[in-house]
Amino acid sequence: DAGVIQSPRHEVTEMGQEVTLRCKPISGHDYLFWYRQTMMRGLELLIYFNNNVPIDDSGMPEDRFSAKMPNASFSTLKIQPSEPRDSAVYFCASSLAAGTGDNQPQHFGDGTRLSIL
């Protein structure tokens, strides 16, 4: 079975440019999560969706970040304009449930390593 697919795997761009990260969740999963991982801050949840609807975006750092999920098989995370401090590895994950009453694990993609020069 295909896992969570993220693209691109690596992205290097200059500050001020728009960056779009893409994610295809596992078919049938109704939750999708975007995380950011850095050495300093560890793994941070940015936003998550349930059935394509954003539920909690309290982790989104600022208005330069936006995320969409136009359908059950695709999501994007956009940074505009990008800044050097946005450099990190961005992960997408999906699950059958958010992990409360249903206690389902999350399945992660291999991430996008983003470098803003």
What residues make contact with other proteins under the rule CB under 8 A? 4, 33, 42-43, 45, 48, 55-56, 91, 93, 98-101, 103, 105-111
Distance of closest approach, residue 44 Cβ to other proteins, in angstroms: 8
Distance of closest approach, residue 81 Cβ to other proteins, in angstroms: 27
Q: Which two tokens stand for residue 104?
A: 């389902």
Other beta carbons within 10 Å of 36: 22
Whether the Cβ atoms of residue 5 and residue 108 lie closer than 8 Å to each other: no
Closest to other proteins by CB, 82 or 106: 106
| Degrees to nearest 5, angle at CA 67 with 63 and 71 | 155
Closest to other proteins by CB, 83 or 110: 110
